[in-house]
Amino acid sequence: MRTLVSESQLRTPRGKAVYWTVFVVVAVAFTAAFVFPLIWMVLGAMKTAPELARVPPTVLPQQANLGTYVEAWNFMSLAHFFLNTIIVVIGAWLVQLAVDVPAAYALSKLKPKLGNVVLGMMLATLMLPASALLVPTYLTITDVPLLGWNLVNNPLAIWLPGAANAFNIYLLKRFFDQIPGELIEASTLDGAGPIKTMVRVVLPLARPVLGVVSILSIVTAWKDFIWPLLVFSDPQAQTLSVALQRFAPDTPVNLLLAGLVLASVPTIVIFLIFQRNILAGLTAGSVKG
């Protein structure tokens, strides 16, 4: 496809020279800026604490010491905090799907009375900066209206507000809207009720958008910091992110770095596997030129 610089311009000797110079500069700069810091973190986690204190720093660890990871795992009881985080993340994901998928389906295909008002009120929350709601939502968590529950230190404090996700509903509804009505009608004529139609006909077709929503919700929940910081006041209930920043001041640097590496592995692995879906989800929301 034609871009700013034309192919013919690139094919001239001068064009070729400039192109390859720029290419090498970009390749080196990108690797230095975005890959090298991660390599430096992984290498740092293999050095000993005295080696890390050296000025100037050593480039390669004097001896590759993978034992740091085991030591960090035990020192910060990372197994416990990994488990906490996994419970929070998987729960947040499942609750979001269980709550948002039927809601989007109802709004898209059943079109109940006042459905547009409900949708509008949901989408309006997208405009609100999350931080403006921190305090009142926190107070709501400490004493859930009508039920009187105190959800502090309870994963429900993450799951329930997380399910009030207008962006998910928007993405899902937009996808459901594109599913032709004839399919729904055919299923209804076969005697299937709306719920059966949703499960048997619509959801299998919606696999791509369910994938995008799932990945987004899992990655967002794994990365989340400020909300878990507020609702998990009990150190034992904390997620990995919250625990790591609590441990940071009193942990030897090499162990802390190993902890950081371990905490990054899940999202990086998810990214490498689902790169295509994640980048699709990135541009799905808004911007089209």
Task: Considering only residues 66 through 85, tell me which ones interact with other proteins, judged by CB under 8 A.
Answer: none
By CB under 8 A, name the one of 93, 105, 167, 176 that touches other proteins. Answer: 105
Q: Give, in order, the Cα–Cα distances in Å from 176 to each of 102, 140, 170, 282.
A: 11, 32, 10, 19
The stretch among 61-69, 72-80, 204-212, 271-279 that binds other proteins (CB under 8 A) is: 271-279
117 lies in the site for other proteins, by CB under 8 A: no
Asked whether position 39 contacts other proteins by CB under 8 A, the answer is: no
Q: Which of 106, 231, 237, 258 binds other proteins (CB under 8 A)?
A: 106
The piece of 60-68, 72-80, 136-144, 201-209 that touches other proteins (CB under 8 A) is 136-144
Sites for other proteins among residues 217-256 (CB under 8 A) = 219, 222-223, 225-226, 230, 240-242, 244-245, 248, 253, 256
Tell me: does residue 37 bind other proteins (CB under 8 A): yes
Question: Where in 143-202 is the site for other proteins (CB under 8 A)?
Answer: 144-145, 160-161, 163-164, 166, 169, 193-195, 198
21 counts as binding other proteins under rule CB under 8 A: no
* 3-state per-residue secondary structure call for the chain: CCCCCCHHHHHCHHHHHHHHHHHHHHHHHHHHHHHHHHHHHHHHCCCCHHHHCCCCCCCCCCCCCCHHHHHHHHHCCHHHHHHHHHHHHHHHHHHHHHHHHHHHHHHHHHCCCCHHHHHHHHHHHHHCCHHHHHHHHHHHHHCCCCCCCCCCCCCHHHHHHHHCCHHHHHHHHHHHHHCCHHHHHHHHHCCCCHHHHHHHHHHHHCHHHHHHHHHHHHHHHHHCCHHHHHHCCCHHHCCHHHHHHHHHHHCCHHHHHHHHHHHHHHHHHHHHHHHHHHHHHHHHCCCCC
Helix axis angle for 115-127 and 166-178, nearest 10°, is 130
- Of 205 and 230, which CB lies nearer to other proteins in the complex structure? 230
Find the part of the chain contacting other proteins (CB under 8 A) among 72-80, 86-94, 204-212, 274-282: 274-282
Binder of other proteins out of 65, 153, 154, 267 (CB under 8 A): 267
Smallest distance from other proteins to CB 55, Å: 5
Residue 114 Cβ vs other proteins, minimum distance, rounded to whole Å = 9
* Site of tokens 């990372």: 78
Region from 75-83, 86-94, 204-212, 272-280 binding other proteins, contact rule CB under 8 A: 272-280
Residues 45-64 binding other proteins (CB under 8 A) are: 52-57
Tell me the number of residues near other proteins by CB under 8 A. Answer: 104
Of 69-77, 86-94, 200-208, 269-277: span binding other proteins (CB under 8 A): 269-277
Amino acid identity at 127: M
